[in-house]
Amino acid sequence: MWIIQAIFLFVFFSCSVVRANDSFDDVHVLERDPVRIKATGDLRGGEKLMKVVVRFRDDDVMILGNDYRYAHLTVIPYDMIQTMTYSDIGDHLPRSLHRAAPLYQESFDGRDQRWFAIRYTEDENDRDVLLMLDREIDGAFLSVAASRSKKEIVQSVDGIPRVADDIVFRKCRVFRTTVTDKGKSNTDDYACAVIMRGALFEIVGQDKDYQDRFEVSYDSVRGLFYEHSKQTSYMGRMPGIGAFRKAKHWFVIEGEGTTALMLAPEIVADFRDAAQAKTNVSINAYGGKSRVASLSQASALPEILGVSPDEAPIDILMSAKTIRCLLGPGTRVKWPDGKLVRDGEARYDDQAPELTFDAIDLKKQTATLLMGETKKAVRIVASEMALTFLAVDDVAFVTTVFARNDGQLVCVHSQHATGILPQAGQFYGVAEVVEKR
């Protein structure tokens, strides 16, 4: 009994000087020794997390059991350490990505896992210690471990390699347009991580349906935009995004292309500060504006599709062979029972937001309208700063593409169904010249 009491006193005094001696007591060790586990009263003998105190001393790291059932002591000299590895695995990951992450432990599937592994040599044999860190201490723990041991720590977050200066944000979603097996385009939001590293943003898909990664260099960033509202004025004008279905925190990075993100509330402040500091670009915030008020503000339209600023707007339009439009918010009306019903928060079609006008011939005033697998012959009317495309059959289509003075192309699309139950709609978006004549 006196031995156990002595161990308790030792642990007590060890914990009482945690900060002064670079010690941490919110740590668990994954014990796999059946004899040690059974000594705790667990007769199954399977692996088990046991509470320990970890103290980084001048020449070694000491790991001491912090439980009356578990009082084992391990001392590892720094010069015996081969590698140190840290892997932070979030419970939000799809199972396939979860299991692919370094140090993943199947018995903890579905839980946050923050593992710190030490591989060292003892009596000419390789040994491993696997520690579970609390999120409140992992940053301080890694810093002390590196400074005391003078060893490099190989780090990863959700399987993504991380170096010391990287800033990693999880709980993000990115909007991307993908192509299905049948060749149809689909715009949707996908879980992702955003890493600010070196001279660029790296966006890594963490969705079962989207695991691509792409980069945006800080030097290419021309604008940063943020908004949070139930009916978004800025993001609500971006085609294919479905802003009125999802009241979220929006963050847009405009560079060579446009990257539209949704952020979890708890990371917004840190994300904004880091993005602005890394790019040295001020953030334009759109907050609390109503959708109706924003419709008259041309500046609220994002430059989602790039246009060369060296070309005059009218020259851009008049040289087009193929124009692609992306449509978003608008209005639908119908007359059931002879009464007007108006939906002022309608969207065109978030699953298929594109209209493409191909084979444009201004001399013949003809073009072909492509909507998925549907083709329609259309007529063209050219004016000083716009092209208008008209098609009439069971449904009348009128689409006008305008060239703004800043070189951006915007569009308005109207459709009038002429069946037994008449209905109409008008929708707004942006456009780009895909191919020139």
Residue with tokens 């060369």: 308
Q: Report the share of the chain in percent with pLDDT over 70.
A: 81
- Token pair, residue 289, equals 């504006």
- Token pair, residue 360, equals 């444009």
| pLDDT given at position 244 | 40
Please identify, in words, the CATH class of the domain defined by 313-436.
mainly beta
| pLDDT given at position 17 | 42
- Section 338-366 average pLDDT: 85
Q: pLDDT tens, 177-233?
A: 777 777 776 777 889 999 999 999 999 999 888 889 999 999 999 888 887 654 444
SS3 278: helix
Distance from C-alpha of 265 to C-alpha of 415, rounded to nearest angstrom:
38
Domains 2-162 and 313-436 share a fold: no
| pLDDT given at position 405 | 65
| pLDDT given at position 286 | 56
- Token pair, residue 232, equals 């978004």
- Long-range contacts of range 30-39, CB-CB < 8 Å, 24 or more positions apart? 30/105, 30/115, 30/130, 30/131, 30/132, 31/70, 36/70, 36/72, 39/69, 39/70
Distance from C-alpha of 68 to C-alpha of 65, rounded to nearest angstrom:
8
Cα angle, residue 242 at apex, residues 280 and 217 outer, rounded to 5°: 25
> What is the side-by-side strand order in the sheet with 60-65?
73-77, 60-65, 48-56, 23-31, 125-133, 113-122, 81-89, 153-157, 160-162
CA-to-CA separations, 357 to 117, 138, 389, in angstroms, rounded: 58, 55, 8
Q: Give the start-to-end residue ranges of the domains of the chain.
A: 2-162, 167-300, 313-436
pLDDT over threshold 90, residue 3: no
Q: pLDDT tens, 40-71?
A: 887 776 788 999 999 999 999 999 998 888 88
300 within 8 A of 286, measured Cβ to Cβ:
yes
Closest CA to 268 of 228, 223, 229: 228
pTM of the prediction?
0.58
Q: Report the share of the chain in percent with pLDDT over 90.
A: 35
| pLDDT given at position 54 | 95
Residue with tokens 């005059």: 312
- Token pair, residue 26, equals 């919110």
Please state, rounded to an integer, the average pLDDT across all residues of the chain.
Answer: 80
Q: pLDDT tens, 240-256?
A: 444 444 456 888 898 88
State the burial class of residue 304 (Cβ atoms within 10 Å of its Cβ: 0-12, 13-18, 19+). Answer: buried
The correct CATH number of 2-162 out of 2.50.20.10, 2.30.29.30, 2.60.120.260, 1.10.1660.10 is 2.30.29.30
- Section 320-332 average pLDDT: 88
CATH for the stretch 167-300: 2.30.29.30
Phi and psi angles of residue 338, each rounded to the nearest 5 degrees, phi first: 80, 5
Distance from C-alpha of 252 to C-alpha of 145, rounded to nearest angstrom:
37
